[in-house]
Structure 1
Amino acid sequence: MLSVSVTTPRGAETIVECTIDSCTIGKSDENLIILQGWSIAKRHAAIHRRADGVHVENLDPKGATEVEGRPVSLYGPLKPGERIHICGYQLQVLDLEAASPPPPAPVYAAPVDAAPAAAEPVATAPVEAAVAVATASESEVAVPVDVARQQVWIGLLKRTHTELIKQMDLRRIDVASQSEDELRRNTGVMLEEIVRHDKTIPADFDRALLVKQVQDEVVGLGPLEDLLADDAVTEIMVNRFDEIFIERRGRLMKSGITFTSDQAVISAIERIVTPLGRRIDESSPMVDARLKDGSRVNAVIPPLALKGANITIRKFAKSKLHGEDLIKFGSMTATMLAFLRTIVEQKSNIIISGGTGSGKTTLLNVLSNYIPDDERIVTVEDAAELKLSQPNLVGLESRPANAEGKGAVPIRDLVKNCLRMRPDRIVVGECRGGEALDMLTAMNTGHDGSLTTAHANTPRDCLARVEVMVMMAGLDLPIRAIREQISSAVRFIVQQNRFSCGSRKVTHVTEITGMEGDMIQLQDIFLYKQEGFGADGKVKGRHIATGAVPDFYQDLAARGLDVDLSIFQGSEGRR
């Protein structure tokens, strides 16, 4: 086994573990240690552990491999502290002691029907730092997996992938002209043929799984495909290629699934963003995007991401959620839902407030679908996530700058433009900057019933947040003028919180009743009263009506509409 510290020319350091006593270095994906640079060969150098110590070998006659500044062709044994220099990279072997027995095999999560571990070492198989294994779930147990067996599997994946590319080149298959379904079907047939004729695959290896994983890597999102298909997983967080965390039923846990390399993560990111007309590279190393099902994606690559390319995916439910689903989940009561439906139908301007991951967009989706079908709706989003079913609907999505730094269209410009599109309602996915001023202006100029979301922990904090966002518009407005705009534009704030157990609940339905002096006055209509946690770790509590009758309902009653005022008479809600 070898443990090698790799320091890039920029100073970033990573540790690479080699599970056998030999590893190669170069720019090709076949190497365990992959270095980038035009002067680095595909197989540039190698490190070997022998009986007398660790040796360095230069594999490229045109390339330079140095030890402490001295060019070498074969050097060893390395002394403690000696560094290997390759085109600006510095490598140091951390465990220079003589060869020792291999450590116990690590424990991975694998299906109960997984094949037993093989004991024979295979030193000739291509090696990677990590291996994709099945996701742990209730039907799986932890079983030991031989490291050498993992290396054989990774070698098969890479070799099969390479052979597929060769076959597609030989047959001159036009990938660009094929739909994703056609490409998946055709690659599946070719992979089955390749695997069927490969006599080197051990008999106890699952050939169908081999075909699936290579196909996912080529056409889909690699090992993330299984996590995306798991309905119990609500969030996927790739910190680096071999470190993936998931949120399953509100609980954060580490997944047993990994990518094969950092480049595989970047390839998955490019596969997500390219169809959307977005890009990610060193000049634009951050991107927001979405999957076909509407799931939200954020990705960051080096040099901004220090540990390697990372992805965060917030999954949306495959089936569209309705208000009744929120009642079933305990997010609100039937009385609260009926009230929220009424204020949406009767054109109240609403801000949905909450922290990150609290379910603001989900609630916005539910409430927006209560807008009557005979009204024209314009939605404005940073990354399109809303799923509305009304017939007269126009969706707008912001656009980042192109490679020349031009062509960006921010949300604020879209909000201004949608005022010229004759909307009855404007729905903004999230206000996070100067567009808040334009949204308030729209609410105050005949676009009643508009909805948006904002990041805040309480309704009062939401007002302060909106004030700050209005100031970000760049106009020197006095604070009283801003507050008067808010109090006249916004009628209700719906606060959604996420508790430590993962439960998401509507904790406040609050009405803005006007100004008193320089302060905006708030009146809570419904509240969530927390009563500790149950034996299962879930939060306990109940929704209650405060007894206050909203001024909005009194206005509806004065207009002769049939409204039920009894729902506000100090109801104890339901547990």
Structure 2
Amino acid sequence: MERFVAVRPGAEPPRARRSSFDDDLAEFPELRELVSDSEVTDVFVNGPGRLWADRGAGLVRATSAALDEPTLRELAVRLIALGGRHIDEANPCVDVRLHDGVRVHVVLPPVSTTGTLISIRLPRIVALDLAALESAGFFAMVPVAAIEAMIARRENLLITGAGGSGKTTLLSALLGRASPTDRIIAIEDVAELRPGHPQFVSLEARQANLEGAGSIGLERLLREALRMRPDRLVLGECRGAEIRELLAALNTGHDGGAGTLHANSLADVPARLEALGALAGLSPTAIARQTVSAIGTVLHLQRRPEGRRLVQVGRFELDARDRLRMVTDD
């Protein structure tokens, strides 16, 4: 049964937290209190006595009782084990996805010089749709009608912004507005997208085991997805050489696709794409030409004091040297 909570004007709707994750943290009331908070999106433990939480407006020091280093390390090992992996001095940096899409990243000393580090990303139990985002003020600077029109005409979209700016939230909402007959194939490093769509299929990358075997990367998953007859192809986050496969697919008849990219500003996007293209062996000219023909619109997000916002809309063009540049719709 869903829990309904009043939302203050301009605030992002709160979220119900999964009780199963609370049960996993029953031995650790300090963290249980935070992950049970309907407004918390991230929890960070930066070593003994340094606990922080983000409720959508930036990090705030948590007032819960501090964890000492032995207890903190025990918690880290337990959470990683819940994700089916192992962490120790020989393998001190591990990222796992728990049930319901909870993401946990741990770094142990001596790689971490301040003690055991734990980063927890908490997903929404019910994905926000465009109407909910509009009510929260997400589209205060860019009209939602313009975004809906892009979805209707099956424009390929790139959603950019810094970490925690709402890229995955917006992408899920956009996919939820696609035609129910569209077959959506999403490729993600860690499965986070949860659109309300009947034809949504997610493929998740797999890390290598302790022997270094069994890894399945995003590049391979993109090739596999193309064999599954997608109507809309989605890459959860562009972060490496897989950009080559994505642009190639979007340039060969796959419209209505989308992806996200970390970038601090719209002006930084061309440089970020050139850097990813270099990892894939593409020259700046090649990545520019591929991008201009593949991506129709760029939506840039920011996390502001009043909340997460879609702040700019831009398009790619070639400059006089056949390099990539951004043109805003302002």
- Give TM class, smaller chain: 0.7 to 0.9
1:491 maps to 296
Give 2:111's aligned amino acid: L
Give how far 1:523 is off.
3.7
Whether the 8 Å contact between 2:44 and 2:52 is mirrored in structure 1 is yes
3-state SS of the aligned residue for 1:423?
coil
Whether the 8 Å contact between 1:487 and 1:513 is mirrored in structure 2 is yes
2:182 maps to 375
Distance 2:58 2:317 in 1: 39
Whether the 8 Å contact between 1:259 and 1:265 is mirrored in structure 2 is no
**1:293–1:334: structure 2 CA closer, same or farther, 3 Å change rule?**
farther
Distance 1:507 1:260 in 2: 39
Aligned counterpart for 1:338 among listed residues 123, 141, 145: 145
Distance 1:292 1:259 in 2: 26
**1:401–1:215: structure 2 CA closer, same or farther, 3 Å change rule?**
closer
- Residue 320, structure 1, aligned to residue 130, structure 2: no
Q: After the TM superposition, which residues 551-570 of structure 1 pair with which residues of structure 2 at under 5 Å, given as runs?
A: none
Give how far 1:332 is off.
0.9
Give 1:344's aligned amino acid: I
**1:264–1:345: structure 2 CA closer, same or farther, 3 Å change rule?**
farther
Give 2:57's aligned amino acid: G
Aligned counterpart for 1:507 among listed residues 303, 311, 314: 311
Aligned counterpart for 1:452 among listed residues 236, 256, 259: 259
Whether the 8 Å contact between 1:480 and 1:518 is mirrored in structure 2 is yes
**1:243–1:322: structure 2 CA closer, same or farther, 3 Å change rule?**
same
Give how far 1:278 is off.
2.7
3-state SS of the aligned residue for 1:233?
coil
- Higher RCO (Cα < 8 Å, 6 or more apart): 2
Distance 1:341 1:295 in 2: 29
1:404 maps to 211
The gaps in structure 1 that reach 5 residues or longer are 1-179, 185-213, 526-545, 547-575
Whether the 8 Å contact between 1:487 and 1:515 is mirrored in structure 2 is no
Distance 1:415 1:256 in 2: 44
Distance 1:215 1:238 in 2: 14
Give how far 1:232 is off.
2.9
Give 1:368's aligned amino acid: L
Give 1:418's aligned amino acid: A
3-state SS of the aligned residue for 1:231?
coil
**Structure 1 residues 418-466: Cα deviation after superposition (integer angstroms, max 9, x where no partner):** 1222212111111111111111111111211111111112223112211
Distance 2:67 2:324 in 1: 55
1:482 maps to 287
**1:486–1:347: structure 2 CA closer, same or farther, 3 Å change rule?**
same
**1:309–1:350: structure 2 CA closer, same or farther, 3 Å change rule?**
same
3-state SS of the aligned residue for 1:426?
strand
1:289 maps to 96
Distance 2:285 2:322 in 1: 6
Give 1:345's aligned amino acid: A
**1:215–1:459: structure 2 CA closer, same or farther, 3 Å change rule?**
closer
Identity %: 35
3-state SS of the aligned residue for 1:216?
coil
Give how far 1:392 is off.
2.4
Distance 2:307 2:259 in 1: 22
TM-score, with length taken from structure 1: 0.50
Distance 1:251 1:449 in 2: 33
Distance 2:153 2:80 in 1: 39
Whether the 8 Å contact between 1:495 and 1:509 is mirrored in structure 2 is yes
**1:460–1:253: structure 2 CA closer, same or farther, 3 Å change rule?**
closer
1:467 maps to 274
Give how far 1:502 is off.
6.0
Whether the 8 Å contact between 1:272 and 1:290 is mirrored in structure 2 is no
Distance 1:383 1:437 in 2: 20
Whether the 8 Å contact between 1:222 and 1:259 is mirrored in structure 2 is no
Aligned counterpart for 2:26 among listed residues 198, 205, 216: 216
Distance 1:303 1:216 in 2: 28
Whether the 8 Å contact between 1:232 and 1:249 is mirrored in structure 2 is yes
Whether the 8 Å contact between 2:295 and 2:316 is mirrored in structure 1 is yes
Aligned counterpart for 1:245 among listed residues 27, 48, 52: 52
Give 1:256's aligned amino acid: T
Aligned counterpart for 2:79 among listed residues 272, 276, 293: 272
Size of the aligned set, in residue pairs, is: 310
Distance 1:406 1:256 in 2: 42
Moved more, 403-412 or 251-260: 251-260
What is the Cα-based RMSD across aligned positions, in Å? 2.5
3-state SS of the aligned residue for 2:222?
helix
